[in-house]
Structure formats: structure tokens, C-alpha cells
Structure 1
Amino acid sequence: MARIKVKYGQNEIEIDSKDFYIDNESVEQVICNLASFVKDSTNNNVQYEYSCDQVPQTSGILHTLEDVEVHEPEFVKPTYIGKDQIKSKLEVLIRDAFFDQPRTVSEVVAQLREYGWSAVPLDVSKVLTNMAFTHELQKDLKEKRSYYSVVKLLQVN
């Protein structure tokens, strides 16, 4: 899965897809192309102009950007996250709409792994249960399995 986000001020472009693959050689060109589209919406001027020619090929564009993270789950061992970090990582999944569909603990653990994080399934289960208890997530029981999803607000007409 490829996920690239280029942000300048309040404007951002994000690509998130399982339909294509970006390797280490082409990621710099993709980021460069995306960066050329980030605009300031207030006056419609390009605020971030970047030319791939500005960066020497030896250093690469990734070294010139802040907060850059490249993760290829099939080639890199995931980083272990402890109990105290699980909730913040689950909040990333919530923000990325992963919980728009009901998910089991094993699906959540697998998705964390796709993001480059490894956690003990029992610890993930405990955090999910706690988040359901505090109404941050909704917990449903189907066929003796727990499913977690975003809390759906009821609209009354």
C-alpha cells in the first residue's frame, strides 16, 4: 500500500492506494510531482514550487523534507508499539476511515502492521474495549465476535 501526503500550510494532497506500488526509486519523483500541485487557496498562487532539478540525485528529495517516513511492510520489520502507544495509533486508523466499516481485533492488528506498527493482539483488544466503553468507538457483537467501528450519530428529523 502506498500512502503519500504532501502538506503546505493548511493545504495538502494525499494519495492512499492499494492499487499501485511505489518503490524507493520512484517515490522521489511522485513526491516532487505532488508538491507542484500544493497551492494557497486564498490567492490561488503556487506557494510551494519544487523542481526535481533543485536536489542533487545523490542526496534525494526525501532528505530535504521534514517528517518523512517511508515504509514498505513487505521489506521492513514493523516497529513494536507498547500499550501506551496503541490508542494514538488507533486514532490514526480512525482518522484514515479504517473504522468506517466494523473491524475485528485481528483486522486491526493486521492494519497496524500495514502502517509499520506491531502490537500484542491482547493489548489492542483491551484498548479497543476501553475506547468502546468511553464511546470513542462502537462495539458490536456478531456471531460471537466483537466488531469495532466509529460511533454513528443518529439524526432525528
Structure 2
Amino acid sequence: GELRTWLWLDGALLLLYSGALLGPFVPAAFWLVALGLIQYLVGTLVLERNLRALPGALGQLLLSSFELAMNTLSFVRVGAFALGHAALSLAIMALADGVEHPLAVALVLLLGNLFSLVLEGLVVYVQTTRLVLFEFFTRFLREEGSLFRPLRRPP
């Protein structure tokens, strides 16, 4: 059933994608791409039992590979946030090192970290809004139902 389908198709996609990611660092891993492609095509023939299913399967494989690549690049954004946090922290510590008085050091650290907290909170808010509006709604919202017609204003 589902396990068989996963092993033939999704497992092949995982193999193919792993080879594509590892290939630039370990050239021998590019063989995984070829192996995944062969497994996907054979799996399509085993599951569908029809040669005419191959063009559609290749299109689905291309789409799934593209989605995996986009999702991977989307998670690179998380690493960029971590680097941004590290840079802000380094700047705050450099400012604190430039101050002599201990009370001023504490004030720079407090205000700097407060600024960092507010700025990173704003980034999280923007990213959450982007996820909800562009990824969640476009994936799950369907244009079904009846047209909204507001009630007339009372006389």
C-alpha cells in the first residue's frame, strides 16, 4: 500500500535529492541521483503498470525536486537569522567594551540587548505573517463556496 508507494517514489526522490546535495562535496554521490531517477521510473512502472504514466511521473518528479530545493533554501533563512543575531550581539559587546564606567557598561548591555530583542521580534513577526499569508493560505485555502453578498443597509 502506502509503504510500497513511499519506497518506490518518495524514497527514490530522497535518494535523488541526497545525491544532488552531497554531489558538490563528494562527487561519487552523484551516482545517487542516477540511482534515484532509475528507482523512480521503475517504481512508476511497477505501481502504474502503464508506460504512458512515465511522462506524468517525470513531471511530478521535477515538481517534487523543485519543491524540496525551495524548502531547503527557505530554511537557509533561519541560518541567516542566527548570523544576524550573532552580528548584533558582537556589535553590542564591542560597544560595551568601549565604555569605561561599569554602570555605563551595564546600560549599554541592557539597551543593546533590548534593541536586539525588539528587532528580532519584528523579524519573527514579519516571517510569521509571510508564512501565514503566502504559504499557509496558498496551500490550504480553496476557492469554494458561495459568493459573499452583504445585507442591505436598513432604511
Normalising by the smaller structure, the TM-score range is under 0.3
Q: TM-score, normalised by structure 2?
A: 0.26
Higher relative contact order (CA 8 A, sep 6+): 1
- Structure (1 or 2) with the greater strand fraction: 1
